[in-house]
Amino acid sequence: MAIAPAPTAPRGGEPMPDDGPAGDGAATPGRAVRLLRRLLTFQTLLVGGSVVVVGYLALVPLGYLFHDTFLSGGGFSFDAFSRAYGGDSQSGSMMLNSLWFAFGSAALALLLGTALAYVQVRTDTPFKGLFFAASLVPLIIPGILYATSWIFLGDPTIGLLNTLVFKPLFGASPINIFSVWGMIWVQGLHLAPVAFLLMVAAFRAMDPSLEESAAMSGAGRGTILWRITLPLVRPAMISGALLMFVQSLESFEVPGLLGLQNGTYVFTSRIYFVLRAYPIDYGAAGAYAIGLLAIAAAGVLLSAWLQRSSRNFQTVTGKAFRPRPVELGRARPLAGAAVIGYFLLTVVLPIAVLIYASLLKYYAVPSRKAIKTMSLNNYREVLHTPLAFTALKNSLVLGVGAATVVMLLTAIVSWVVLRTKAPGRRLLDMLAFTPIVIPGLVLGLALSFVYLRSSLPIYGTLLILLISYCTRYLPYGMRYSSAAMAQISPELEESAAVSGASWFQTFRRVVLPLMSSGFLAGWVYILVVSFRELSSTILLYSPGKEVLSVLIWEQFENGQFTTLAALGVCMVVILVLLVSVAYRLGARFGLQGDSTN
């Protein structure tokens, strides 16, 4: 089967090809040779290879995970599940903690993100420029650093909020960041910018005519918001809630840093604990992983069921509109103060406390004595640590490599899905989206099952980390590539083909340049998230193959909090520089022009 665009009608005067049976039986080998040549073209090999790679990345690790969990004793059994969930494993409290943490974090992130998006898009609130920083900076800060900064802020004994605010004013330290509520707070704040960006797009695309009609009919602002505005953005809210739920469910950094200190386990921290125990029970770890995967898949199915009537909420039509901002009146100063407070709480405080801790030899509550001991010794120690430069090099190689491989692969796959009539192209799209429901720790465990028994010397190398990153971020690259491909008219490719260009020339010189805006945006996103990835890396790295996030985790386990803070500040600065350089280069490909139009 050759994968090609839909055939066009023959030109005038050209005879139709004869597809009927040949009169001469000797022509059969000739047809077979022509068919073989069509199947062995560069286009077919490249596209077919990409399809095979996507299928391998999405299905093979899960196949090994299920095989080694259910068939670990030589035959089909549930012994691994009995060891994991039976006896005194406290699996009930672990499940409740996992669900409560995921639902609570998703609800907090969606509530904050939706409220901020509404204020940003639909009101005349001041300081709108702070929304950009409040949404971008937390996305750049890795989860392990964000959790660490809130340890410095919310620790019951040394946390700045308890020691400098609550204890002097109320004589008590009510904040305990090492609890399920503390985990929900940190994870929700860290995910709120993602929800904000999703809801901003929904509010901007919503036709305000229905709200204006309700206002003319005498409805108050609260009634309009509750009865009209929120129902119209319900599909976006459901999608956002699903994304927040899955990301919270698979989070390892926050439960690992905050929950384990108080004996609070969720699925991810329990899997990590089982794999760190001796002897290692891979079957029980696989049972936990399958349970976590089942909950994530159930969340996806629930989201699809809730969105079954999304067509009833479509408001984007061919009619142009310009939403008129709601005038806040006397509430405008209060809204401005709330914006500043949110920016200080989510951006300034976490970064400031990391910088403060990085300047101390031993962490202490701010005082004259502590300020006098400030120095740059921690930064000197980081710069003179060979492992830090090795981790930085590995992070750069993996980030750039994963971003490049994923975007090139998904560009080809999106062409197959959107430009051809190949059978199974929708299934291919679903396969590319499948890894989004696979938590990072589960993916790391599945890949270890694959390559621990493989004869290929991949386990413990950077290559297995690259495979993990490419699999993990394949759905995100597919969304960016598909969105960019859908905006390109097929007429441009047809014109190039008529002019004599081959498929590869058309794809390289027409399709890819026209996709450059979405391609580069996806490349930057995957670079950033790969640079800060920990959950899948923690099970796959080996000594000498650490990345920056793993090095920070090791510093935390060793109790070197001030060195961790210095390394974290350096990591954030590097990420900011990478994003700035990437978007500066992206200006040449129209990213800035797109953002201003």
The per-residue pLDDT for range 159-208, each reduced to its tens digit, is: 888 888 888 888 888 889 999 999 999 999 999 888 887 787 777 766 66
Q: What is the mean pLDDT of the chain?
A: 80
Is 105's pLDDT higher than 90? yes
**Residue 218 burial (C-beta neighbours within 10 Å; 0-12, 13-18, 19+):** exposed
Residue 591: per-residue pLDDT: 45
Local structure of residue 434 (DSSP, 8 states): G
Whole-angstrom distance, CA of residue 415 vs CA of residue 161: 52
Long-range Cβ contact pairs of 209-214 (< 8 A, separation 24 or more) = 209/321, 210/315, 212/324
Whole-angstrom distance, CA of residue 539 vs CA of residue 530: 15
Name the band, by pLDDT with cuts 50, 70 and 90, for residue 25.
low
Token duo for residue 205:
């695309």
CB atoms inside a 10 Å sphere around CB 366: 13
Prediction pTM value = 0.80
Question: Considering only CA atoms, which of 567, 441, 556, 573 is closest in space to residue 151?
Answer: 556
Local structure of residue 164 (DSSP, 8 states): I
Q: Which residue in the block uniquely carries the two structure tokens 């691994």? A: 80
Question: In percent, how much of the chain has pLDDT > 90?
Answer: 17
Q: Which of 91-95, 232-236, 239-243 has the lowest mean pLDDT?
A: 232-236
Whole-angstrom distance, CA of residue 384 vs CA of residue 337: 43
Token duo for residue 268:
């991810």
Is 1's pLDDT higher than 70? no
Residue 88: per-residue pLDDT: 64
207: left (phi over 0), alpha (psi -120 to 50) or beta: beta
Token duo for residue 498:
């008529």
Question: Considering only CA atoms, which of 451, 478, 475, 477 is closest in space to residue 463?
Answer: 451
Number of residues that this document lists for the chain: 597
Peptide bond preceding 279 in cis form (omega within 30 of 0) = yes
- The dihedral through the CA atoms of 494, 500, 503, 505 has a sign that is negative
Residue 310: per-residue pLDDT: 47
Cross-strand bridge partners of residue 326: 123
Judge whether 535 and 440 are in contact, CB under 8 Å: yes
Is 233's pLDDT higher than 90? no
- Scored b (16 or more CB within 10 A) or e, 496-533 reads bbeeebebeebbeebbeebbbbbbbbbbbbbbbbbbbb
**Residue 92 burial (C-beta neighbours within 10 Å; 0-12, 13-18, 19+):** exposed
Is 39's pLDDT higher than 70? no
Local structure of residue 5 (DSSP, 8 states): B
Mean pLDDT over 523-527 rounds to: 87
Cross-strand bridge partners of residue 123: 326
Question: Considering only CA atoms, which of 277, 271, 286, 278 is closest in space to residue 79?
Answer: 286
How far out from the chain centre does Cα 39 lie? Answer: 36
Judge whether 22 and 28 are in contact, CB under 8 Å: yes
For domain 51-69+102-596, give the fold. Answer: MetI-like fold (1.10.3720)
Helices of type H across 488-547: 490-498, 503-506, 512-514, 516-531
Is 313's pLDDT higher than 70? no
Task: Please list, in sequence order, all residues whose beta carbon lies within 8 angstroms of the beta carbon of residue 517, skipping any fewer than 6 positions away.
Answer: 484, 586, 589, 590, 591, 594
Is 596's pLDDT higher than 50? no
Question: Considering only CA atoms, which of 286, 297, 276, 273 is closest in space to residue 65?
Answer: 286
